[in-house]
Structure 1
Amino acid sequence: MVSKDIPAENAGPKVGVRHLQSMLIFFGLCVSFMQRVNLSVAIVAMMDRNSTNPDFPEYSWSERTKSLLLSSFFWGYFLTQVPGGQLAQRFGGKKMLLFSVGISAFLALFTPYSAQLGDWQFICALRFLQGFCQGSIYPSTHTILARWAPPAERGILATICFSGSQFGTIIILSISGTLAASKFGWPSIFYVSGGCGIIWSFVWLLWGADSPHQSKLITPKEQYYIESAIEVISKSENNTTSAKLPTPWLSIFTSLPFWVLLILNCAYNWGYWTLMTQIPSYIKNVFDKDIKSNALLSALPYAASLVLGLCFCALAQVLLSAKVLSTNASRKIFNTIGMWVPAAATIALGFVDANSADLAVILLTVAVGTNSATFLGGFVNHIDLSPNFAGTLMGITNCAANCMSIIAPLVVGVIVTDTTNPNQWRLIFYVVAFYYFIGNLLFITLGSTKLQPWNEPVKRDTDHERIKFQVVVDDLEPKQSKLESS
C-alpha cells in the first residue's frame, strides 16, 4: 500500500507514469487503426491492373466484392463491443488491450498469404476476426483510464489516448503509396502495420499496467496522488474490487445521463462516418476533384483532428488548472465545440459553389478537425458517470454508435440518387447537422458529470444489509435487558 504520510493535497508530478500509460495507449490505438485502415488503402493497388509492380498479384474483384471486403471488419467489431467491456472489467484492460492489438497484428501479417490462399473469401474471414479482436479496444481503454486518470486530468489523458487513432490513419495514408510502389509491393502495407502491432505488444507487456497499484515504474508519490484523487478506486491489496462488482444492468438502462451519452455517441458517429465515407465522393462528383488520389488531401482532415485535439487538450489543462471551468462546464463546452462547429461547417458545405472545391476541402477539414474536441467531452463522460463500469458503458454506447456508421451510408445511398446533384447532397448535410445539434443539445441540458449511485452496487447493498442488521439488533436489546432483569 502507498504510504499515508504523503500529503493528500500534493498535486503529484506534472509528468509521470500516468502520462506514459496514455502514450502507450496512444501508440496502441495508432497501430490498431493502421491495421483497420490498411486494406482500404492497399486494395487500390491490389485491384490495379496497370500497376508498375508486376511481381505481386492483382485481383479482378467487383465493386460488390470490394464493399464486402471493406465492411467485413466492422461485422466482427460490432459483435464484441459489449462483451469486450465485460471482459475488460473481469480480466483487466491490460490483458484485453494486449489480446486485441496483438492478435489483430498477427492476422494483418497473414493477410497477403490469405489472399493468395483463398482469394477474397479468406480475406473477409480474416478481416472479420480482426474486427472481432479489436472490438474490446475502446472498452479496455476506458477501463484503464478509469484507474489511471485523476478526475482533473481525465479529459487531457483521454485526448492523448484517442488521438492515436488519427495519428495511425495519417501514417498509413501517408506511407501506403510509397510502400505499394516499393520492391515489396502492396503486401508491405500489411507487414508494416502488423509488425508495428507486434512491437507495440511487447512494449505494452513490459510497461503497461491496469492500475497504479500494479505498475512497477510508478513512484509512491504519484501513486498516492492518483489513488487519493480517484476515491471510487479500491485501494485493497489486489485492487480487484471493481472486477467483482456485478454489472447493474437495470440501473444503467434506467439512467438518464447514460441514455443521453448513448444518443450523443450515436449522433457523433452518424456525422463522423458520413463525412469520412461520403465526402470524397461528394468532392469528386460535384467538384470533379478526386481527393482520394492525393495522399495529402486524404490525410489532411485527420491531421487537423490530431493537431486541434492536442490544442484543445492544452487549452483545457490551462482552464482547469486556473479553475476557470468546472469539470461539468469543461465537458459541455468542449463537446459543443466538437459538434456544433462541425454542424455549421457541414451546412456551409452544402452551399459551396461548384467552382470552389478548395473551400469545400477547407470546410471538410474544419468539420472533421474540430470533432476532436469531443475527446474532452462525451468521449470521457463514461468515466465521470461510473469509473467501475466505464468499459461496459463504452462497449454499450460504441455498439449502438457503430450501428449508425452502418446505417448512415445506406441513407446517403437512398437520398443521393444523382451524385452530381448538389441539392441532394445538401439534404445529407442537413441531416448531419441535425444529429450533431440535437446530440449536443441533449448533452448540455440533460447530461451529467456526477458519479452515479449505481457505480458501487455491492457497497450499496452491503450498507443496506448493515442498516437492517443494526435495526434488528437495536430492537432486540430492550428484550434482552428485560430477560436479564427477570
Structure 2
Amino acid sequence: MLEVSPIGIEDYRQAFAGKGLYRHMPARHVLAILAFLGCVNLFTLRVNLSVALVAMVNYTLVSNTSSSNDECGLQNNGSPALEAKNGEFNWDEQLQGHVLGSFFYGYCLTQVLGGWLAELVGAKRTFGFAVLVTSILTLVTPAAASLHVYALIAIRVLQGMAQGFAFPSIHSLWSKWAPVKERSRLVAFTYAGAQVGTVLAMPVTGLLCQHGFSGGWPSAFYVFGTLGVTWSVAWAAMAFDSPTLHPYISTQERDYILKSVGSREVNLEKKSLQPPWCAVLSTPAVWAIVGAHIAYDWGGFTSITLLPQFMKQVLKFDIQENGGLSALPYVVLWLANIASGPIADGLRSRHFSTKVTRKIMNSVGLLVPAVLMLGVGYVGCNPVMAVSLLTLGVGMSGFTLSGFSINHIDIAPRFAGILMGISNSFGTTTGFIGPVVVGVLTKDNPSMGQWRVFFFITAAIYACGGMVFLLFSEGEEVGWSKYSGSSSRSFRNDINIVIPQPVVKEVHKGSDKNDNLSRTNNRLPCANRYISIIGDKPTVNGYVSADV
C-alpha cells in the first residue's frame, strides 16, 4: 500500500523519482512534452502551405481573369516592395482550393485505421510514423510543385493519409498513460501543440517566403521538414506505449498510473480488438461527438487553410502581415486549450459530473463562436473588427478540448482511439469541402459579399454542432465498452493511494489477513499484481478489475 507521510516536497519528488531524466520529471510529463512537440510539428507541416501558397501564386496573372474586388474600398496594407514580389504559378481560386483541400482527401481515409493500428502495434509507432512520413514528404514538396500542380496535390494527399494516424494514436496513448484526475489537463496540453504549431508556422512561413533561401517559399518546407525528422528521432528513443513498458519510470509512478487506469497488454497470439460495431453506431453519444467534431473542424480547418486568402483578397494584407494576422486566432485558441483542462478539472472538483462538465465546456467552445462568426459577416470590411472577431471566434473553440475532444475516453476508454478515428473521419471531410465551397463562392469575384456567405455558413455549422452535443452527449463509460469481450488482458496493482500531504512513502503490507483495506475491496490481501483474462465482464475505466 502507498501511504503518505508529512515529510516535505523534496521527499515527495524522491519517492516518484525514476532514472536519468526521470529523476527530475515524471515519465508521463516527459511523454506529454514529447507529444506536445509532435503536435507542433504536425501542424507546422500541415499549415505552412496555406501561407506559402500566397507567395507561390502569381496573382497578377490570376487577377487578369477575375473581376476586381473594390467592395470594401481598401488599399494594400503592405509595403509596395513586399507586394511586388509575385509567385510563379498561375493557379486560379478554384484550383487553389483543391490544392489546399487535397491534404484532407487523404486525412479522412486513415482515421479509423489509425485507431485500430494504435491498439494493434502500439501508439508510439503509429504516431511516430505519422510525423516522420509527413516530414519526409514536406522536404520533397517544392520539387513536386515545380513538376506539376497534380504532383503537389498527390504529395498533400499522402501527407494527409500519414497524419490520419496521429490523433487516434494520441487518444490511444493517453488512455493508457493519463490518470483519470489528470486526464483533461494532460490531453489539453498535448493538443495545444496543434495551435502552437499553427501560430509558429504562419508568421515564420511568411518570413521565410520573403527572406528565406532557395528562392523564398521552398525554404519553408525544408526548415519544417527537417525539424520534423529531428523530432522523430527523439520520439523513437524516449516514448513508450505504456507505463509497464517504460524502462526508466519509477515504481511509484507506474503503480499510481496503473491504479488509476489499469494496463492493457495485447494477446500476442490473436492481437485483435473488436468493437461491437452495431452498438457503437447506434449510440447517440457517439454521434453527439461526431456532430461536435464536424463543427469544430469546419471552423478550425477552413480557418487554417482559408484565412490567408481572406486576408489577401479582401483585407489586402501583404505576405508578412498576412502570416502574422492569420496566426492570431490560434494564439487565443492555444490559450483556450491550456485553460480548458484546469477549468474542467476544477468543475469536476466542485462536484459537477463529467457529463455536465463536458456539456458546459463544449457549449462555450461552439455556441459562442457561432455568434462571433455572424458578427464577422457584418463587419467584414472593417479590418480591425474583422480580425478581432475572427480571432475570438476561432480562439474560443479551444474550450471544446475539454468537451467533445476528450469525450471518447470518457464513454469508451478501451476503444478511444477507434472512436477518435470515427469522429475525426467525419470532421476532416470539412477540410476539403470548405476550400471547395470558398473556391466556388469567390471564383471570378473574391468579394466581401461572397466571403460573408461563407461566414454565415460557418456560424450555422458551429451552432448545430453545439446543440447536438448539448442534447445527446454522455459522460460515463457506456455499457458496450464495459462488457465487450476482448483478447486483451488487464492487471491492476492492489495499491491504495491517499495523498492528503504531498509526500509519499511506500509501505508493504504483505498478506496481513486483518488488512481492512483488502477486506473492504473484497480482494485477496496480496501486494502482487493480479492478472485476469477479459471475457464478458464489466470494466472500470475500460479495464477489467482484478477482483477474485
What is the TM-score normalised by the length of structure 2? 0.74
Deviations 1:123-180 (A, max 9, x none): 3322222222111111111110111112222221111111111111121212223323
What pairs with 1:27-176 in structure 2 (closer than 5 Å)?
A: 27-47=37-57, 59-63=88-92, 64-116=94-146, 118-176=147-205
Which range is displaced more, 378-387 or 264-273? 264-273
> 2:243 is aligned with what amino acid?
P
Identity %: 34
Aligned-partner Cα distance in 2 for 1:429–1:121: 29
**Is 1:20 aligned to residue 68 of structure 2?**
no
Aligned-partner Cα distance in 1 for 2:103–2:455: 27
Q: Match of 2:236?
A: 205
> 1:339 is aligned with what amino acid?
L
Change (3 A) 1:163 1:66: same
Aligned-partner Cα distance in 1 for 2:430–2:219: 32
> 1:420 is aligned with what amino acid?
S
Aligned-partner Cα distance in 2 for 1:83–1:413: 31
List runs of 5+ in structure 2 lacking aligned partners: 6-11, 17-23, 61-79, 487-532, 538-548
Aligned-partner Cα distance in 1 for 2:317–2:340: 31
Aligned-partner Cα distance in 1 for 2:278–2:122: 23
Structure of higher RCO (CA pairs closer than 8 Å, 6+ residues apart): 2
Q: Give 1:247's match in structure 2, choosing from 264, 270, 275.
A: 275
Change (3 A) 1:287 1:61: closer
Q: Give 1:338's match in structure 2, choosing from 352, 365, 379.
A: 365
Q: Match of 1:360?
A: 386
Aligned-residue offset at 1:323 = 3.2
**Is 1:6 aligned to residue 34 of structure 2?**
no
Aligned-residue offset at 1:353 = 7.0
Aligned-partner Cα distance in 1 for 2:299–2:389: 14
List runs of 5+ in structure 1 lacking aligned partners: 465-486
Deviations 1:209-229 (A, max 9, x none): 111111223212111121111
Aligned-partner Cα distance in 1 for 2:534–2:255: 28
Change (3 A) 1:243 1:218: farther
Aligned-partner Cα distance in 2 for 1:132–1:72: 10
**Is 1:188 aligned to residue 188 of structure 2?**
no
Q: Match of 1:296?
A: 324
Aligned-partner Cα distance in 2 for 1:60–1:289: 20
What is the TM-score normalised by the length of structure 1? 0.82
What is the SS of the residue equivalent to 2:240?
Answer: coil
What is the SS of the residue equivalent to 1:142?
Answer: helix
What pairs with 1:411-426 in structure 2 (closer than 5 Å)?
A: 411-412=437-438, 419-420=446-447, 422=449, 425-426=451-452
Aligned-residue offset at 1:300 = 0.8
Q: Is 1:33–1:165's contact at 8 Å kept on the other side of the alignment? A: yes
Between Structure 1 and Structure 2, which shows a larger proportion of strand residues?
A: 2
Structure 1: which 4+ aligned runs deviate by more than 6 Å? 8-15, 49-53, 238-242
Which range is displaced more, 40-49 or 255-264? 40-49
Aligned-partner Cα distance in 2 for 1:160–1:80: 24
Aligned-residue offset at 1:381 = 0.6
Aligned-residue offset at 1:435 = 2.4
Aligned-partner Cα distance in 2 for 1:442–1:319: 22
Deviations 1:337-365 (A, max 9, x none): 111111121122233274x3211211110
Q: Is 1:289–1:357's contact at 8 Å kept on the other side of the alignment? A: no
Q: Is 1:26–1:162's contact at 8 Å kept on the other side of the alignment? A: yes
Q: Give 2:206's match in structure 1, choosing from 148, 171, 177.
A: 177
Q: Is 2:100–2:435's contact at 8 Å kept on the other side of the alignment? A: no
Aligned-partner Cα distance in 2 for 1:190–1:283: 22
Deviations 1:71-95 (A, max 9, x none): 3322221221121111112111100
What is the SS of the residue equivalent to 1:458?
Answer: coil
What is the SS of the residue equivalent to 1:209?
Answer: coil
What is the SS of the residue equivalent to 1:244?
Answer: coil
What is the SS of the residue equivalent to 2:378?
Answer: coil
Aligned-partner Cα distance in 1 for 2:313–2:150: 31
Aligned-residue offset at 1:397 = 0.9
Change (3 A) 1:200 1:154: same
What is the SS of the residue equivalent to 1:462?
Answer: coil
Aligned-residue offset at 1:102 = 0.9
Q: Match of 2:419?
A: 393
**Is 1:260 aligned to residue 288 of structure 2?**
yes
Aligned-partner Cα distance in 2 for 1:241–1:210: 19
